[in-house]
A and B are shown apart, each in its own frame.
Chain A
Amino acid sequence: MSVHLYQIVVVGIASVMIFQGIKEFAKREAGQTVLKLCVRLLVWGGMALISVYPNFTWYLSKIIGIEDNINAVMVTGFLFVFLIIFKLLSAIEKIEQNISEITRKEALNEAHDRIQKLRLEILELKKKQ
């Protein structure tokens, strides 16, 4: 069985993405759930599976009803476009979260004195009871 370059590339990328997912899940990073890990394993594992066992697409094509296999250029193109979109959207998401975090910290800092004042009032009331 001969190994093609695209198979190595796809398996490599899929391995990195799956490894990252498992690492983030194992570290219990915020937002990492079992379902999210499963979806990641399914998407990237599926890509690796199809690249290692291209005949698997035959079953898929039977189910979907498309006779011809997708040619190599299309697959490579779609893979790169998908990868770039995935990374871009992830990066945008991360930036959005960072902006929210900065906005939140600023809001809390500005209200710090008022929060402390109310906190002391609440403590006083609790002591009186």
Chain B
Amino acid sequence: MSEKIAIVIPVYNEAGAIGDVIEDVRAHGYTSIVVVDDGSDDDSFYIAAAYDVVALRHKINRGKGAAVKTGIMAANLLDVDVVVTMDGDGQHDPADIAPLIQPILDNTSDVVLGSRLLNKEEMPFVKVIANSFGNFFTWLLYGILVSDSQSGYRAYSRYAALIIDTKADKYEYDSKVIREIKNNRLRYTEVPVQTLYTEYSMQKKNKQGFVNGLITLYRMVWKMIA
């Protein structure tokens, strides 16, 4: 069954984690792995390529959304039935891939959103608040209220992976997918996922902090009028 599923992992300066993430995903039986290096300054790309995965490299940093989109396009070329996107810093547990793809294999959903907030007790309080703001503005601008609009752990059916089209390059990509779900009337569901707050991931600079959150909100609003 694993040949029907492609795992897309966008990375930016994750040389310290990407090897373990690939090994962990493989250990769970998923062999079709696409790693997109988004213009890292470190050796993320070469480390990923050494694991014999489909390693793609953005020559310049274009943002998480752009990297995910590149990965999904590569996965579409592989003719797989399900595309899963997950972070490359080791925060996502590959054990959650199975429950994430199940609604698609059962043909009850086109998009499955991994939700960290359905397991709220694991998440730092500041992140719970920040995510609630993200969910509110995503609902306000795009009309669907989900429990974790900023989660990058998601699964798409082949149809959804082909039809979802957004030009969002940065962190607003995750919210724009919600808009695409609504515009294309895709069936979606949310599945609780675990977040592994490892020493490595906690030491990294917060990628979606308060200031970046405001920038993401500005981008979401700007793209509505421009």
Contact = CB atoms under 8 A, between A and B. Distances in A.
B114 to A, nearest CB: 24
Given A31-B223, A108-B74, A96 B169 contact: yes
Query: Chain B at the A interface: mostly helix, strand, loop or mixed?
Result: mixed
Query: Chain A at the B interface: mostly helix, strand, loop or mixed?
Result: helix
B103 to A, nearest CB: 22
B226 interface: yes
A107 B226 contact: no
Given A96-B169, A108-B70, A122 B56 contact: no
A97 B167 contact: yes
B151 interface: no
A76 B206 CA distance: 43
A103 B225 contact: no
Interface residues of A, number: 32
Contacts of B117: none
B157 to A, nearest CB: 16
Interface stretch (B57-65, B86-94, B127-135, B192-200): B57-65
26 contacts: A30-B166, A30-B167, A31-B166, A31-B167, A31-B223, A33-B179, A36-B223, A39-B224, A89-B222, A93-B222, A97-B169, A103-B60, A104-B58, A104-B62, A106-B59, A107-B36, A107-B56, A107-B57, A108-B74, A110-B56, A111-B55, A111-B74, A119-B77, A122-B3, A122-B32, A122-B80
